[in-house]
């Protein structure tokens, strides 16, 4: 049985997989793959895997490659994300922090300030790296990433990409379906991570 992948069909390169814009999850026998933006809390009884679309984008992968080449991870990482449609912000933020932890190591302290459609997260990692992530929800999609390290100073800004070159624009945010399926993980792993961070207690929730 082929999995059902929820996502933007313009971005995901597919062979025979079923890609849909949304799902009502009526069939509990199906296997669903969801981007973090579509995850909600009432999916525990379904066979759901989560894919972190940000980490599958070419600009983010390239940024990670250079950061891993640093002689020391002491540096400052900044990211700004504007997201058009998010069902529950805590899953987006949790997945981002989960990904950054795999890059920078364990967080020593997390600071978070959140309002209805805006959240700012600052993280100090054990090895000295600082990360600042700014989220705005219910607006046009946008991504910018900066890294200031000992070896590299890197910057990606989606606004620098030509809006008239639609092919190259979507190519930068294209997701290979095999990569998606390989990197996805059970929803339970993300919910357990969020519970450990206690993001809801910090003020991030779906309300």
Helical packing angle, 58-68 and 89-104, nearest 10°: 30
Q: Given this model, what pLDDT does residue 199 score?
A: 62
Q: Given this model, what pLDDT does residue 207 score?
A: 41
Contact residues for 130 (Cβ-Cβ < 8 A; gap 6+): 75, 76, 77, 122, 123, 124
Other Cβ atoms within 10 Å of 58 Cβ, number: 14
Does residue 207 lie within any of the structural domains?
Answer: no
Does residue 19 lie within any of the structural domains?
Answer: yes
Q: Given this model, what pLDDT does residue 8 score?
A: 84
What's 50's domain CATH number? 3.30.360.10
Q: Given this model, what pLDDT does residue 75 score?
A: 95
Does residue 38 lie within any of the structural domains?
Answer: yes
Does residue 160 lie within any of the structural domains?
Answer: yes
Does residue 157 lie within any of the structural domains?
Answer: yes
Does residue 109 lie within any of the structural domains?
Answer: yes
Give the range of the structural domain holding residue 8, as residue numbers without chain letter: 4-202
Structurally, the chain folds into a number of domains equal to: 1
Other Cβ atoms within 10 Å of 44 Cβ, number: 9
Q: Given this model, what pLDDT does residue 52 score?
A: 95
Query: Where are the strands (E) in 17-169, listed by range?
Result: 18-20, 31-35, 47-51, 76-83, 107-114, 118-125, 130-137, 142-148, 153-157
Per-residue pLDDT tens listing for the chain (207 residues) = 678 898 888 788 876 668 887 776 766 678 899 999 999 887 766 789 999 999 999 889 999 999 999 888 889 999 999 998 898 999 999 999 999 999 999 999 999 998 888 999 999 999 899 999 999 997 788 999 999 999 999 999 988 765 444 445 556 788 989 999 999 999 999 999 998 887 655 545 544
Does residue 110 lie within any of the structural domains?
Answer: yes
Does residue 45 lie within any of the structural domains?
Answer: yes
CB 77 within 8 A of CB 129: yes
């Amino acid at each position: 049985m082929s999995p059902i992948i929820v996502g933007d069909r313009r971005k995901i390169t597919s062979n025979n997989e079923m890609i849909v814009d949304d799902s009502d999850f009526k069939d509990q026998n199906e296997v669903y793959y969801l981007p973090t933006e579509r995850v909600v809390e009432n999916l525990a009884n379904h066979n759901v895997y989560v894919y972190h679309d940000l980490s599958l984008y070419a600009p983010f992968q390239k940024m990670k490659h250079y950061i891993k080449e640093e002689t020391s991870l002491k540096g400052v990482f900044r990211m700004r994300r504007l997201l058009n449609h998010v069902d529950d912000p805590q899953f987006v933020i949790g997945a981002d922090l989960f990904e950054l932890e795999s890059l920078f190591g364990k967080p020593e302290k997390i600071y978070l300030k959140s309002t209805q459609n805006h959240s700012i997260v600052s993280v100090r990692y054990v090895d000295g790296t600082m990360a600042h992530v700014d989220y705005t929800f219910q607006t046009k999609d946008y991504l910018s990433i900066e890294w200031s390290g000992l070896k590299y100073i890197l910057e990606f800004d989606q606004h620098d990409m030509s809006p008239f070159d639609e092919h190259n624009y979507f190519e930068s945010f294209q997701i290979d379906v095999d990569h998606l399926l390989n990197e996805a993980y059970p929803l339970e792993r993300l919910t357990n991570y969020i519970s450990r961070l206690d993001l809801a207690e910090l003020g991030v929730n779906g309300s």
